[in-house]
Amino acid sequence: MKKIKSALALLIVFLLLFSSLSQTVFAATYIRKGSRGDEVKRVQQRLYDLGYPVGTIDGIAGNGTINALVLFQKNNDLEADGIAGPKTLEIMFSGVAGETQDTNEQAESRTNVIDNSGQSDSPTSIMATLRVGSKGHPVTLLQSRLNELGYSTGYPDGTFGPKTFNAVMTFQRVNNLYVDGVVGPSTIAKLFGNAAVGKPEGQSNISSTATGEAIVAFAKQYLGTPYTYGGNGPKSFDCSGFTCFVFKNFNVSLPRVAANQRSVGYEVAKADLIPGDLILFTSPSSGSSIGHVGIYIGNGEFIHASSGSTMSVTISSLNSATYTKRFVTARRVIS
């Protein structure tokens, strides 16, 4: 009898210990807003790998992590409670988890996903200069931060395209930075620093001038690129190949031949030119026919792929004797 009682006592102690241990392990599988540690970082990394922008992967379950988690749960038919419990984690790390889908509802819910509560300690993980064509997580962070500040980039897809470029240009202009559309140290410091950041005004409708300046800044990145007849870029251009290449990056399709670019957009007077307008000229050997095209950049200058002495993308004066004589018309293709 004594042995039975002793065995029962040991069994009860064992069950109590097991229950306590199970509860500890079970509790450890739950990640909710405010959770911290390596498990949170592992979940953030997994969400990022699956295409959910989580903000900074810092081991802190802030707004960005929870927003991404809710989206993951919706995509995988789980209860969208923003808590990573056993079922959510099982699917997340099972290899069958659903990746993000580019629907309007999801894009809107992913627009502002960076949690800035700990920003002063770890302002950003953007360590390299970003420009048009850059891709990856740093671009997603950039887009999310710009969206948060009111400079719309649309869905933060990790691709530095024309809309992100326009948002960066506007941010730089509002905050008295050098306006070139390139995200370097000064722009990064202003974006993620503790100093007050200027807010955009009326950015829902970007003016043609603002878009034109973005086009000009993009085009200037290719100054010095060699001229080659038939060149479509980015390593070499001819005149119409250059304008086609530049405008294509702003979702504007131009005819490949300079003469045919006269048909796009609408005509503007030389006195009314704004940055981003196409300028069409005769070529030295073509008489009255259009044989050359460039992009107006302001202050009486234009950028073009020149077959002249420079044999490269260069900036010339529209008011020089050569180009005044050859000027035919100008077209506005950005409304």
Tens of pLDDT along 159-199? 888 788 888 888 888 888 887 788 888 898 888 876 667 77
Helix (H, G, I), strand (E, B) or coil at 96: coil
Q: Same structural domain for residues 257 and 186?
A: no
CA 116 from chain centre, in angstroms, equals: 19
Q: Same structural domain for residues 193 and 257?
A: no
Tell me, yes or no, whether 304 lies in a domain.
yes
Q: Same structural domain for residues 254 and 305?
A: yes
- Taken in order 317, 212, 218, 172, the sign of the CA dihedral is positive
Tell me, yes or no, whether 300 lies in a domain.
yes
Q: Same structural domain for residues 248 and 323?
A: yes
Q: Same structural domain for residues 316 and 221?
A: yes
The residue range of the domain holding 181 is: 137-206
Q: What is the pTM of this model?
A: 0.50
Q: How far apart are the first and last CA of the chain?
A: 95
Amino acid present at 224 = G
Q: Same structural domain for residues 242 and 306?
A: yes
149, 182, 206 - which closes a domain:
206
Tens of pLDDT along 268-284? 999 999 999 999 999 87
Measured CA to CA in angstroms, residue 266 lies from 210, 227, 275, 282 at distances of: 18, 28, 15, 19
Tell me, yes or no, whether 191 lies in a domain.
yes
The Cα 244–Cα 229 span in angstroms is: 14
177, 206, 235 - which closes a domain:
206
Q: Same structural domain for residues 185 and 239?
A: no
Which pLDDT belongs to residue 98? Answer: 46
CB contact at 8 A, 93 and 55 = no
Look up the CATH number of the domain holding residue 202. 1.10.101.10
CA 191 from chain centre, in angstroms, equals: 14
H-type alpha helices, the chain: 2-28, 38-49, 63-75, 86-92, 104-109, 137-148, 162-174, 185-192, 208-220, 239-248, 321-326
Q: Same structural domain for residues 242 and 291?
A: yes
Look up the CATH number of the domain holding residue 323. 3.90.1720.10
Q: Same structural domain for residues 198 and 291?
A: no
154, 181, 206 - which closes a domain:
206
Domain count, the chain: 2
Q: Same structural domain for residues 176 and 227?
A: no
CA proximity to 111, closest of 78, 138, 149: 149
Is the pLDDT reported for residue 106 higher than 50?
Answer: no
Amino acid present at 304 = H
CB contact at 8 A, 155 and 110 = yes
Percent of the chain with pLDDT over 90: 27
